[in-house]
Structure 1
Amino acid sequence: MTPRFGSLRDGPSPDAQGAETFTELAASGAARVERIASRSVRGGEWYDQPWPEFVLLVAGSATLAFADGTTRALHPGDWCLLPAGCRHRVAETGEQALWLAVHLPPGAIPPAA
């Protein structure tokens, strides 16, 4: 088997303000790894997924908003583990934010902090 290489910096950028692009990098069963690029999202779409998701902000800045009204500012290197059913959205980014997202299988129990 031959290794595959790439760069998170390579890939499509959102073509409009308030847009996101999603590129699947790897998948196995119910687990997926994605590259996400977000551009100046404000009041974006709510996500409420039936699986846990780990997101790492690679470049740019972003603010995540949650259904309970709380927000969290993120900077490069910051990550968040979103449990299944955690209603969230990207409320704002700098000019562009670059993310690495790992979608875990439904029912997966992430390690405790």
Structure 2
Amino acid sequence: MKCISSGPGSGNLFEFGAPASSDEQVDALVEDAGVSIERIVSRGHASPPDFWYDSPRAEWVALLSGAATLEFEGEREPHPMKPGDYVLIEAHCRHRVAWTSDTEPSVWLAVYTPEVPR
């Protein structure tokens, strides 16, 4: 029995190469039993003005490199993040990415739980 997958189940979070486009890079790393793990590489990306994520899944997100600022609906103060910071965003908590560094890639690790009904 093989314990470590040689496919998408293994790799290096910091090896992502040059961007193929100006879009934010989202790589699905693992998906199993309703849990998803993604690596997100942001290069000066932000949510569009007045756009809020409202996911039916809780999201645990850690910033591995770069810098970013999150905003949560109803909260006056933004939530700045530096490498090593993490936050658990509950399902249906409206939030947005206000800013990411444009001088170095902001690498996120995001873990999504199974959906939570309203």
Q: Could you tell me how far apart the structure 2 residues matched to 1:85 and 1:70 are?
A: 19
Question: Superposed, which structure 2 residues align to 1:1-113 within 5 Å?
Answer: 1-4=2-5, 5-11=10-16, 13=19, 15-16=21-22, 19-44=23-48, 45-68=51-74, 69-95=76-102, 96-107=105-116
- TM score, norm. by length of structure 2: 0.79
- When residues 14 and 78 of structure 1 are mapped into structure 2, their CA distance, relative to the original with a 3 A threshold, is farther
- When residues 42 and 35 of structure 1 are mapped into structure 2, their CA distance, relative to the original with a 3 A threshold, is closer
- Following superposition, the deviation at residue 67 of structure 1 comes to 1.5
**1:24-79, CA deviations, whole angstroms, 9 ceiling, x for partnerless residues?**
00010210000001121244342110010000000000000112143100000000
**Residues 34 and 102 in structure 1, CA contact (< 8 A), matched pair in contact too:** yes
Q: Which structure's CA Rg is the greater one?
A: 2
- Following superposition, the deviation at residue 91 of structure 1 comes to 0.7
**1:59-109, CA deviations, whole angstroms, 9 ceiling, x for partnerless residues?**
0000001121431000000001000001111110112210000001124xx
5+ residue gaps, structure 2, are none
In structure 2, give the amino acid aligned to 1:51.
R
5+ residue gaps, structure 1, are 108-113
- TM score, norm. by length of structure 1: 0.82
Q: Could you tell me how far apart the structure 1 residues matched to 2:87 and 2:20 are?
A: 22
- When residues 66 and 86 of structure 1 are mapped into structure 2, their CA distance, relative to the original with a 3 A threshold, is same
